[in-house]
Amino acid sequence: MAECHPVGFQWVMEAKARGATVIHVDPRFTRTSALADIHVPLRAGTDIAFLGGIINYVLQHEKDFREYVVAYTNAATILTEDYQDTEDLDGVFSGLDPEERTYDFHTWQYEGMEVQAASGQRDQEYADQPGGRKRSTKSVRQAGRGEAHGSGGAAISGQPQVDPTLQHPRCVYQVLKRHYARYTPEIVEQICGVPQDTFRRVCEHLTDNSGRDRTSAFVYSVGWTQHTVGVQYIRSAAVLQQLLGNMGRPGGGIVALRGHASIQGSTDIPTLFNLLPGYIPMPHAHAHLDLDSFIQGESPRKGYWAEMRAYMVSLLKAWWGPAATPENDFCFDYLPRLTGSHSTYETVMAQLAGDCKGYFLMGENPAVGSANAKMQRLGMANLEWLVVRDFSLIESATWWKDGPEIETGELRTEDIGTEIFFLPAAAHTEKDGSFTNTQRLLQWHHQAVEPSGDARSDLWFVYHLGRKIREKLAGSVDRADRPILDLTWDYPTRPMPSHPGDAEPDAEAVLAEINGWDAEGGPLSSYEQLNDDGSTACGCWIYCGVYSDGVNQASRRKPSTEQDYTALEWGWAWPANRRVLYNRASADPDGRPWSRRKALIWWDGEKALWTGHDIADFTAAKSPWYRPPTDATGAEALSGVDPFVMQADGKSWLFVPAGLIDGPLPAHYEPQESPVPNLLYSQQRNPVRQIVSMVHPNDRFQPSGGQPGAEVFPYTMSTYRIAEHHTAGGMSRYQPYLSELAPEMFCEVSPELAAERGLEHAGWATIVTARNAIEARVLVTERMTPLTIDGRVLHHVGLPYHWGHGGLAPGDAVNDLTHLSLDPNSHIQEVKVGQCDIRPGRRPRGPARVELVKEYQRRAGITEKTGTEI
């Protein structure tokens, strides 16, 4: 965190100054480790084993916060007899279809309930039609259903059977206990390389610091997500935090640190293919799907998601205004439809296949920053046109003349037909707008200076692009053009003083549209005001209220010294300015704070209201003793002891009956490429990991575990960031002051590995995988620790991924080494762990570079089948 989020790390330092213990779990010793109380190096790619070990410790020693667990989680819920765990099936869950590499999650259900997976229901209905089944099942699941509903909420109806004593052999608590029983300190040591003493210390710290009086927080970043089991990493932390009672309480939670200033904002109002604003799923291309069947398929009957129709209709009204009417399903048919996964990596494959002909890159540098960067460049070389909007001429705009493939001869400039448009972009200081941080806090930034030269804001670009397209289409009678022509596209603009004749759209007007308005055009103040009859418009239901009273609530900057510690008047947090989600859980079932130290909100019996330091994430007047009538729906169907109001059963989910693609409980699988066999199960890898490119010659996988040829790539590697640079370098390697801080691509290796491979400190090394070979300067440091894994010493190669062939500080791109095996839920690449070889000296130049990689492939016996086993 000190490396990649130094500004946020000030709060860790402040917590530390007030007595917090900081534990840093990371394969390498970083700036964070330097300031932590304990640094725990572990083998990259083994965090589920590590966290599973802690879960087992909690369960074996009964250190869970039992009252919290029974009241607020689904620990007591009983599963069906059909469910079979990894314990029963040696590492896989029931429902696996090995041929299609998918799970049918019907057996993961609650007993006696009609459990519908948000990601499966429509699919199941469709599958019931003759001949529909397998293909649609896969295409829907690949369409990223797991990400919809934000936290993975899914449709459930009926009443679950529960055993509050937690003794029933099929209750979630007992299933959990059996599932994690094999995650012992001994196995943690063998898999992760963490000595048992260190492991126990971490367990003790965490459990001692959790409960009625105390809470612990987890902070993670892409070191956890960029794996073939990335979502299950986070789920492991979620299981732990639920058992310890650390969710919905002050000082608790799981904090995702994002890679850029507003990545949270770009999932809330998504740049993702599978989501609409506010985590409403993107419709799938089922035949004759209309608004009603979409809502029926995606929306549960209980909890706040039961109001999805109101959110959806209001969104359609925000986009298509008067054109959206009840008669035409509010233009629901104007929305594009999914036919499978359309993630960035499928897009690359479509480029290579010639299906994707045009590409916009806005603030993204895939020629450096995306997995298997060579495939990215080759894909772009097969486009008709490419638009790059960035601060500088980044590698993604220049690969056609100076990219690595030009040097090796794999591409020739004169053969590349891609027409490339570079449009300089304005920086955040040069435009108005908002950042949404990891706390869901929207903070407005005001323009400080006009952008120079041709640089313009993204808002300017998108608005004027839309305006010009609409001008060109004006008068068209083609039905396909209606979605564009009917759009509300009337944002006010202001003249740009330094650029006469040019007009910048008003960012606050966009915020007002996102917030939404009623039939009279008055600003809304809460998503509870949204209607499903077309009388309200709202561009993103979870942001509703950010412009309440016509005031930009995100621009509030009341100093912390003038308000209490929740600082409700600094910026605005979605939803409804709540600072801690699900904060009903900060009080006991009777509505009293669990302890005075940890009071956040509580039930005020006299006023019959929830009150406290934060805004209650609960119906304000719903008493702790409220029990819903059996026919209740929506928020009314949740009782006064159901804090997790977005979940259809109001409980947090230790066990996820629906919504995840790859299992209801996290299980340790080895990465796509690993030096060792899976010591926990005979199943080596995540069986349903998504392999985008099974047969592409530029994306070969390596042998793994004990397979012959694995020894050709004996070292584990991780890609990461350092404080000196920003992601793929577009914002830092073109800046002299940042470039001089870390001027060259380097790798970090331990003195032991340097000795073993003859690597010279500050000299050069070549790092090779089955995809490519790169060179880097060598930094020999004791901060890299060789670990003892299952009785043998394993070395780690650390690879910061900031460099590319352009900029003031050029260097080889680490992502040339990485592959396209992805997490099946989020479609994120596994770049935080891989296997490689490292050798002294610079890499070969020209065609010899390609030949070196081929030689490695031959030595390891790599074919198109290697590593694609289920």
Partner 1 sequence: MAPVDIVIGRKPDLTGAMLGDTDPAHQGGYVDHPPRMGFFTDTSVCIGCKACEVACKEWNAIPEDGLVFTGMSMDNTQGLGADTWRHVAFVEQRKPLAVQDPGVLHDGVDVLALAAQGSGTPPDRAGMTPTTPGDPGDLRWLMASDVCKHCTHAACLDVCPTGSLFRTEFGTVVVQEDICNGCGYCIPACPYGVIDQRKDDGRAWKCTLCYDRLTVGQEPACAKNCPTNSIQFGPLDELRERADARLARLQEAGVSDARLYGRDPHDGVGGDGAFFLLLDEPEVYGLPPDPVVTTRDLPAMWRRVGAAALVLVGTAVAAFAAGRRV
Interaction site with partner 1 (CB under 8 A): 2, 6-7, 9-11, 13-14, 16-19, 21, 29, 31-35, 37-39, 201, 204-205, 208, 213-214, 559-561, 563-565, 567, 596-597, 599, 722-724, 736-744, 746, 761-762, 777-783, 808-809
Q: How far is the CB of 265 from partner 1 (least distance, A)?
A: 22
Nearer to partner 1 by C-beta: 201 or 445?
Answer: 201
Q: What single-letter amino acid sits at 723?
A: A
Nearer to partner 1 by C-beta: 7 or 477?
Answer: 7
Q: How far is the CB of 28 from partner 1 (least distance, A)?
A: 11
Q: How far is CA 570 from CA 310, 507, 564, 565, 756, in A?
A: 29, 20, 11, 11, 54
99: tokens are 């041929």
How are beta strands 254-256 and 218-220 bridged, if at all?
parallel
Q: How far apart are CA 48 and CA 232, in angstroms?
A: 8
Give residue 736's Cα distance to chain centre. 32
- For the chain, the straight-line distance linking the first and the last C-alpha, in angstroms and rounded, comes to 35
Q: How far is the CB of 442 from partner 1 (least distance, A)?
A: 19
Nearer to partner 1 by C-beta: 127 or 615?
Answer: 615
How are beta strands 441-445 and 433-436 bridged, if at all?
antiparallel
173: tokens are 């608590």
Q: How far is the CB of 724 from partner 1 (least distance, A)?
A: 7
Q: How far apart are CA 389 and CA 465, in angstroms?
A: 13
The burial class, CB within 10 Å (0-12 / 13-18 / 19+), for 869 is exposed
Asked whether 802 and 373 are in contact (CB, 8 A), the reply is no
- What φ, ψ does residue 608 adopt, rounded to 5°? 55, 50
Asked whether 719 and 791 are in contact (CB, 8 A), the reply is no
Nearer to partner 1 by C-beta: 11 or 625?
Answer: 11
Residue reference for tokens 């006991």? 588
Nearer to partner 1 by C-beta: 571 or 650?
Answer: 571
Q: How far is the CB of 250 from partner 1 (least distance, A)?
A: 8
Q: How far is the CB of 746 from partner 1 (least distance, A)?
A: 6
Nearer to partner 1 by C-beta: 636 or 775?
Answer: 775
How are beta strands 764-768 and 746-749 bridged, if at all?
unpaired
Nearer to partner 1 by C-beta: 564 or 851?
Answer: 564
Q: How far apart are CA 819 and CA 424, in angstroms?
A: 30
Q: How far is the CB of 17 from partner 1 (least distance, A)?
A: 3
139: tokens are 């295409």
Nearer to partner 1 by C-beta: 213 or 502?
Answer: 213
The burial class, CB within 10 Å (0-12 / 13-18 / 19+), for 302 is buried
Q: How far is the CB of 135 from partner 1 (least distance, A)?
A: 51
Concatenating the DSSP letter of every residue in 699-737 gives SPPPP-TTSTTGGGS-EEEEEE--TTS-TTSTTTTT-HH
Q: How far is the CB of 560 from partner 1 (least distance, A)?
A: 4
Q: How far is the CB of 389 from partner 1 (least distance, A)?
A: 25
Per the document, the length of the chain is 870
Nearer to partner 1 by C-beta: 9 or 332?
Answer: 9
Nearer to partner 1 by C-beta: 808 or 852?
Answer: 808
Nearer to partner 1 by C-beta: 145 or 440?
Answer: 440
Q: Which helix (H) or strand (E) element contains residue 352? A: helix 344-352
Nearer to partner 1 by C-beta: 38 or 496?
Answer: 38
DSSP-derived secondary structure letter, 702: P
Q: How far is the CB of 785 from partner 1 (least distance, A)?
A: 8
Asked whether 213 and 598 are in contact (CB, 8 A), the reply is yes
Q: How far apart are CA 278 and CA 265, in angstroms?
A: 10
Q: How far is the CB of 293 from partner 1 (least distance, A)?
A: 49
DSSP-derived secondary structure letter, 510: H
Nearer to partner 1 by C-beta: 185 or 666?
Answer: 185
Q: Which helix (H) or strand (E) element contains residue 406? A: helix 404-408
Q: How far apart are CA 633 and CA 147, in angstroms?
A: 24
- What φ, ψ does residue 490 adopt, rounded to 5°? -120, 45
Q: Which candidate, 802, 805, 803, 830, places its Cα nearest to that of 818?
A: 830
Q: How far is the CB of 583 from partner 1 (least distance, A)?
A: 15
Q: How far is the CB of 781 from partner 1 (least distance, A)?
A: 6
Helix, strand, coil percentages in the chain from 3-state DSSP, rounded to 5: 30, 15, 50
Q: How far apart are CA 723 and CA 741, in angstroms?
A: 9
The answer to whether the peptide bond before residue 575 is cis (omega within 30 degrees of 0) is yes
Nearer to partner 1 by C-beta: 529 or 595?
Answer: 595
Q: How far is the CB of 10 from partner 1 (least distance, A)?
A: 4
626: tokens are 């409220």
Asked whether 841 and 758 are in contact (CB, 8 A), the reply is no
Q: How far is CA 633 from CA 2, 157, 655, in A?
A: 46, 10, 23
Q: How far is the CB of 693 from partner 1 (least distance, A)?
A: 34
Q: How far apart are CA 860 and CA 708, in angstroms?
A: 7
Nearer to partner 1 by C-beta: 778 or 789?
Answer: 778
708: tokens are 């012959």
Q: How far is the CB of 212 from partner 1 (least distance, A)?
A: 13
Nearer to partner 1 by C-beta: 250 or 657?
Answer: 250
Which residues have a Cβ under 8 Å from the Cβ of 271 and sit 6 or more positions away? none
Nearer to partner 1 by C-beta: 8 or 844?
Answer: 8
90: tokens are 């040696």
The burial class, CB within 10 Å (0-12 / 13-18 / 19+), for 621 is exposed
Q: Which helix (H) or strand (E) element contains residue 68? A: helix 66-72
Q: How far is the CB of 605 from partner 1 (least distance, A)?
A: 21
Nearer to partner 1 by C-beta: 167 or 560?
Answer: 560
Q: How far apart are CA 253 and CA 694, in angstroms?
A: 38
